[in-house]
Structure 1
Amino acid sequence: MPVTNGELQLPALDPTERRINRILDPNHPLCREDVVWALEFIKKKVADEDPVLMDLSQPRLMQNFRFFAEAAMSLIHRRHYGDQEADRLRDWLRQAAYGLYKDTPREPNR
């Protein structure tokens, strides 16, 4: 159902998209639960062989995996995140989820 924003009709985001957008928002305080949720989301997309994966090139898929691994290893090795570390972790999650949700921006330069 569209959400009215003044005169403009905007489609409502589903709960998954809202959560991803919140996690990737630099103003949202990132917590361990958010990181685990994002990694589970990515893992499920891959395990379910989501068709959106077919739209990504092999080099891009390798980049997604690299950033997934960076985020997962960061989660394993750290208990608390400062602002700078949270920003880096958020960027890794953004890169790992590239192409897996509707609001994916153009491919970042890496």
Structure 2
Amino acid sequence: MEFIHRLLDKTEWIVAGFLGAIVASWWHKDDLTDWKAWVVFLITGVACALYLTGIVSTYLGITDPSNVAGVGFLLGAFGGSLMTAINRAIKAADLWALIRSKFGGG
């Protein structure tokens, strides 16, 4: 029950992150080829906004609630983009060659 109350306190951050991820998804049309990828993009944007907005706004000294929501929007936009870039890098990496080179397989 306490988890739900904490989420309700951060509703503004969640909405801001969701809108930020929607706006950022416009520039990632090539990466978001199906609805699953789009949903994961939105979820990662919202998760970044939810869990990082408080930390980033405290670090930057932002106390005005409307500005904190702006931080949530930016984190939602960049959070989905960051996860897309990480996913693209993992797909492009030859992990077996890296493992073989570290453990002497050729």
TM-score, normalisation: structure 1 = 0.30
Structure with the bigger percentage of strand: 1
- Greater relative contact order (Cα < 8 A, sep 6+): 2
Structure with the bigger percentage of helix: 2
TM-score, normalisation: structure 2 = 0.31
